[in-house]
Amino acid sequence: MPNAKAGPSRLEQKLRAEIAGGVFFDRFSRGRYATDASFYQIIPAGVVVPRTMDEALRTLALARDDGRIVTPRGGGTSQCGQTVNEGIVVDFSKHLNRIVSLDVEARTCVVEPGIVLDDLNRQLKQHGLWFPVDVSTASRATIGGMAGNNSCGGRSLRYGTMRDNTIAIDAALADGTLAHFGEVPRDLRDVSAPDSAHVLFRDMLALGEREAAEIADKFPKVQRRVGGYNLDALTPRNAANNLAHLLVGSEGTLAFSTRIELKLWPLIRTKVLGVCHFGSFYAAMDAAQHLVKLKPIAVELVDRTMIGLGRDIAMFQPVIAAAVRGDPDAILVVEFAEETTDENLAKLKQLSELMGDLGFAWSNEPRKWGGVVEISDPALQTAVADFRAAGLNVMMSMKEAGKPVSFVEDCAVPLPHLADYTARLNDVFAKHGTRGTMYAHASEGCLHVRPVLNLKLEKDVKAMRAIAEEAFAMVREYKGSHSGEHGDGIVRSEFHEQMFGSRIVADFKEVKQRFDPGNVLNPGRIVDPPKMDDRSLFRYPPDYRIDDLKTVLDWSAYPGAAGGFQGAVEMCNNNGACRKLDGGVMCPSYRATRDEKDVTRGRANTLRLAISGQLGPGALSSDEMMETLKLCVSCKACRRECPTGVDMAKMKIEVLAARATTHGLTLRDRLVAYLPRYADLVARVAPLVNLRNHVAPLRVLMERVAGISAKRKLPAFRTDTFRVEADAFGPADGREVVLFGDTFNRVYERENLDAALRVLIAGGYRVYVPKPADGGRALCCGRTFLSAGLVDEAKSELQRLVETYAPFAARGVPIIGLEPSCLLTLRDELLSLRDDTAAKTISAHALLLEEFLAREAEAGRLALPLAPLPGKALLHGHCHQKSFAAFKPVEQVLRLIPELTVETIESSCCGMAGAFGYGAETYEVSLQMAEASLLPAVRKAEASTFIVANGTSCRHQIQDGAGRGAVHAAQLLAMSLERTQMRS
């Protein structure tokens, strides 16, 4: 990259003067936009995030005048290198994402190109409509990007491709001319367009007429043909003469889309799934041609590899257990969506009969083993769909150095040839010393096929080239298409001449030259591409290396340098699942800012560039790296929700540790980190310390000195902290448990620990609250030290805890805690800091109170005399609870209380996140996170509703943001018990 200290270029100065949106020319920002979901990396000259379409068009003009190329970008999920290039990248996704108009009766809408598919469909749902090009990346794919790639989705069998559902496109040509591309008469009569656009339209229709015979002869006759330019849209045989269809699939090389008019469809009201099992992959592929005769809307493949990987991913284990029977070599998920439930059930019956007619039965030998698992439950259907949609990321969750690589990803062949094609392709993989993964659209003969390769190795790069040439030759033999969904980009463009012939490729060049004579718009894609195996364009070029780095945590589960830290960072495949805007928790800071810097992908890319020396010396501990991670709230959602398991919270500890070593700590860092060691001393003078909350000048002073926002009240210290004289409570013969009194509940909200103690005693348990083995101050999990990168101090705290709790854990005694971030440290970071038997045993026995009670209830051992609490409880889950699948037990336990209605808020992070919400520079973003769903839900709740939040920081955010007190679940349980005692 150019020297970061060089002054701003003339272009940068002009952009900053004329663009109100983001203008980024620093090496960290450019690095974040250098990759997409492909294996390529090209550092752009700069990045612009326009606020308005006028700013986007002004960027195009300024870049063109400066001799720079321009690449439009949406979600950055392209798998072939379409959205990486060396000029100016224009990111439409942050601001240019509105529905411009909607005609419900005509079932059409006009949108800006940056709108995300899921966001569009959420807004359409209330009108009974949806846009059905349902790509697996729907949570982050933008409509502009989908148009650029001619996306297809899983249900294209019924609904067609992006081209089939695009009515018109308003666009700017490279010279700035604005034109409307849509249906036109071939003589262009009454077409209103600028003169230059009118001439362009005439020339394109003339080209289509001139080349009609060649196009009919050379274009593959499969629906999923998305390679090259859609010249067939220009021929006289195409009655629509829709010029927008020439832009669809053009990968940003012809024009800048400004508005896109879409065809909408009625929502699917009822559907069913038939999960067809096969003992033989070949048999599954051969069966696809027969299954489609039942007219399903989709037939999706999941192979043995994907099933096996899914079984190792916590979020997918339940769906696999419910939907997969035995040990299939492949399954085909067949989806029916008829008008009525009865019609759908009839289709399922026909499916089972057809499988029987094809010779499959559960009792057969492997070659003909199989049958149908019928799924009519909507929740399970959604779970199956989510698993299939996550196929790419599931495949990429392999922790070995080799990964499934996308380059023969989207070949489409006619269905009768699918079984032979896949069998021969597997032979090709074996010939080159690898294996492949396959999943996706069996109904269309388009499988997402990825051989496992390590592109850091020259031999694997050569194997990739050889496999590509042999696979594409087979596709041509079967008269299929080498681009069946994800477009051309760098990967497949060079093979167009072999697919279409030299005359058609010359036509492609003519189209590009007429639209963009200056070669300004995303050059090198479709026309005049580089070689697909040019390693200078790879994410891992020949000189790629990892700087010597001593890590503080255990990364040995991953390959690569720095004890495996390299492999952990490189698990990010850039597919962008962290950019979702709804559902789950990940990534709360991105949901607030919509900035690439603040998403897990952006952070992982920055880390990779830093540890490989591409951001200059000292990058890992630099101010720019801290800025990159500033809004990471360590929610741990990515640990669970990123299908490749990128654990940014854990990675952040490495950065904080490096930062602490080289730059020391701020006063705020010290105040937060050392809280467990001074809390009891401060409690003695609590009224004096708490004056800060009540005296405005003290708040202002503390903000200036320590960076703690004057707008926040700090948790109030109290003199009556949680202390117990006895070591044990409850019946001597009761089942043993240990109660862990974390610093936050012990010092600030002892009533929660008191409540938990009452509940456990009432349940007949023998509750131990052991004094520290060293006889000193109260125990601590080390969480606050980890938040400042003070790993040695955290180890010291955990050593004291392990010494104290080890004897109990060794005899199987559960260790129960209340604060999720503290207790779950024993299940997570403890094992990254030490691997001795005592630590592992404690980790295995660490449970949140609700987890323990739910487990006891399921085993029939819980005997709590709970009285009714008529009313409603509104429940917010702590991020760490969700990350460790520890949230459901809270719902289960609260539902044990008679007459209490429990409703869960569908929320992401509360935004307080420990000390994050108290920072002067992070206060506003903290509130934005809370306002996404949590605080509005609390404000709407009736005054009599209990607000329940088990996280200390969550309760404080709710109090600060909504003026409502929230309680720990332990208090509701204790309240219910007290009513029982009052009655007796």
Residues 6+ apart with CB under 8 A from 906: 583, 933
**Residue 811: in which H helix or E strand, if any?**
none
pLDDT confidence bin for 2, thresholds 50/70/90:
very low
> How far is the C-alpha of 140 from the C-alpha of 135, rounded, in Å?
10
Calculate the CA 25 to chain-centre distance.
Answer: 26
In the prediction, which pLDDT does 5 show? Answer: 54
Q: How far is CA 53 from CA 94, 117, 198, in A?
A: 12, 19, 23
Token duo for residue 687: 């009224």
3-state helix, strand, coil in the chain (%, to 5): 45, 15, 40
Burial of 550 (0-12, 13-18, 19+ CB in 10 A): exposed
Lowest mean pLDDT among 324-338, 385-399, 569-583: 385-399
In the prediction, which pLDDT does 397 show? Answer: 66
In the prediction, which pLDDT does 6 show? Answer: 63
Share of residues in the chain with pLDDT > 70 (%): 98
> How far is the C-alpha of 682 from the C-alpha of 675, rounded, in Å?
9
Residues 6+ apart with CB under 8 A from 689: 682, 717
> How far is the C-alpha of 441 from the C-alpha of 304, rounded, in Å?
16
What are the pLDDT digits (tens) for 92-117?
999 999 999 999 999 999 999 999 99
What are the pLDDT digits (tens) for 411-439?
899 999 999 999 999 999 999 999 888 87
In the prediction, which pLDDT does 515 show? Answer: 98
pTM over 0.85: yes
> How far is the C-alpha of 749 from the C-alpha of 956, rounded, in Å?
11
What are the pLDDT digits (tens) for 716-734?
999 999 999 889 999 999 9
In the prediction, which pLDDT does 455 show? Answer: 96
Residues 6+ apart with CB under 8 A from 839: 798, 802, 830, 831, 833
**Residue 458: in which H helix or E strand, if any?**
helix 458-477
